Amino acid sequence: MKTRVTLIIAALLMATNFGFAQQDEECMLNLTLMNDYVKSKKYDEAYEPWMKVRNKCPKFNRAIYQYGAKILDHKIENATGAEKVAFIEDYFVLLEKAREYYPSKYELGEILEDIGVMKYDNQKELGLSDMQIYEAFDKAYKEDLPNFTSTKGLYVYFTKTVDLYKAGKFELQKVFDKYDDVNEQLESLNAKYATDLNKLIEKEEAGQSLTKTEKKYKPYYQAKLEANDKISGSLDSYLGQLANCENLIPLYKKDFPTYKNDAEWLKRAVSRMYTKECTDDPLYIDLVKAYDATAPSADTKYFVATILYKQGKNSEGDSYIKQAYELETDTFKKARLAKRIAAGFKKRGSYSSARNYYREALKLNPSDGTPHLSIAAMYASSANSCGDTAFNKRAVFWYAAQEALKAGQADPSLKGAAKQAADSYNANAPTKSEIFTCSCEGTTINIGCWIGGSVKVPSL
C-alpha cells in the first residue's frame, strides 16, 4: 500500500512538471515572437503573442512589460473612440502589474508620472477634468518625489495648478507654492545630472576613455539638463503677471506675521521678491532680516548683501557676499551662487571680480558653458579701454570670440549661441585688409587693463 501511494505521488509530480515544461515552452515561443516583431517595429503583429505570454505567464520575463508598453503606445496612437480608451486603460493595468511583479525595476514615482502623462495626453478621450490631471501628478509628487523626474510631467503639474487657480479652484498662494515645489525638484534633478555629467567630462579630460554605457549616458545627461532649463523658463512664462509686485507685496504683507519664523516660507518669499525686482518695497528688507535671523545661511547672507548694495554700501555688501560664498557647501548650489555673484559684479561694472566668480562657477560645474558667454561679453564691452591703438583695441574682439566658443565646447546645447556670439565679435575685429596693411599677421598682441591676456593675429 505504501509503495502504491508513493508511485501515485511520483506520477502526479511528473505530470505537473510536464505541464510546467509545456507552459514554459509555449511562453518562450510567444515571448520570442513578440521580441522579434517589436524589434522590427511590427507592433500590430506583436500584439497577439504578447497577450498570450502576458496572460499565461505574467512573471515569465520583464520584456513583457518593457515591450508591452511600446505595443500599447502604438495601439493607443492608432486607435480611436472606445477602442483607444480600452487600450489606455490596459496601459494603466500594465504599469501597475510591472511594478507588482518587478518592484525593484519600476519605481512608484516612475509609474505614477507615466500614468499622469498618459492621462494628460488623452484628457479629452478619457473625459478627465483639470483637477483629475493635477491629482494624478500630485500623487506622484507626494508619494515618491525622488522618482518624479519627468520634465513634461513636472511642467503639466504646475500649469494645471495655474489653470485651476484661474478657474477659482485654488488660492494664489497655492500657485506660488507649486511653482517653488517644481523649481526645487528641477534644481535637485539638475544637480544630480550635472554631477554625473561632470564626472564623465573629468574622466575624458584626464585622457581616459568612456565605457560603452558612459558614452550613452553623457548625451542623456546633457539632454535632460537642456530640457529642464527650458522648462524652468516656461514655468515663468506660464506664471506671467500673477507673480508681479502688485500681487506679491500685499500677499506677503498679509502672511508675514504668521510666517515670520518659518524659514522655508521666508526663503521662498525673499527669493520671489528678489527675482521679480520688488526690492524697493520696505517689506523686502523686513523679509530678509527675518530670514537671516531665523536661518542664517549662504542664501540669507546673499540677500543681506543685495540690501546693502541697494543702499550704496558696497564695501559691506562685498563682505556679506564673501560670507555667502564661503558658507555654501553644496557644489552645484555653490556654482549657481558664483554665477549670481558674478552677475552682480558685472552689473556694477566690476568686471575683474565678476570674471573671478564666473571662473569659480566653471570649476565647480564645468558642464555649464554660460559663464564663458558672460566673460566674452565683458571682454567685448571693454575693447575700447583695453588697447593702445585702434587696431589693438579691436583685437580684443578676437579674444572675446575665442572665449565665447568655449561655451559650446563645455555644453553642446550652447554651440549655436556660442557661434552666434563669436561671429558677432569677429565682425567687429580688424578686417583682412587691415591685417595686410599693418603687416602683423601671426604676431601676438598683449591685451592690457583688467583682461590681461593675449591674442594672436589670424593668418590671411
H runs (alpha helix) in 311-411: 314-327, 331-348, 351-364, 370-381, 390-410
Reported as a single tens digit per residue, the pLDDT across 416-432 is 999 999 999 999 999 99
pLDDT score recorded for residue 23 = 58
- Return mean pLDDT, the chain: 92
CA distances in angstroms from 375 to 210, 288, 350, 356, 454, listed in the order given: 30, 30, 12, 10, 15
Cell triple for residue 382? 571693454
Measure the CA–CA gap between 376 and 346, rounded to whole angstroms.
12
Burial (CB count within 10 angstroms: exposed 0-12, middle 13-18, buried 19+), residue 286: middle
Within the chain, how many helices (H) and strands (E) appear?
Answer: 21, 2
Reported as a single tens digit per residue, the pLDDT across 168-227 is 999 999 999 999 999 999 999 999 999 999 999 999 989 999 999 999 999 999 999 999
Interhelix angle 212-239/151-166, nearest 10 degrees:
10
Taking alpha carbons only, the member of 368, 395, 361, 367 closest to residue 379 is 395
Q: What is the pTM of this model?
A: 0.80
CB-facing half-sphere around the CA of 404: CA atoms within 13 A: 23
pLDDT score recorded for residue 255 = 94
Cell triple for residue 1? 500500500
pLDDT score recorded for residue 302 = 95
Reported as a single tens digit per residue, the pLDDT across 94-122 is 999 999 999 999 999 999 999 999 999 99
Is pLDDT above 70 for 142? yes
Contacts of 27 (CB under 8 A, 6+ apart): 53, 56, 57, 60
Burial (CB count within 10 angstroms: exposed 0-12, middle 13-18, buried 19+), residue 419: middle
CA distances in angstroms from 448 to 212, 379, 381, 385, listed in the order given: 46, 11, 14, 9
Cβ 348 vs Cβ 358: under 8 Å: no
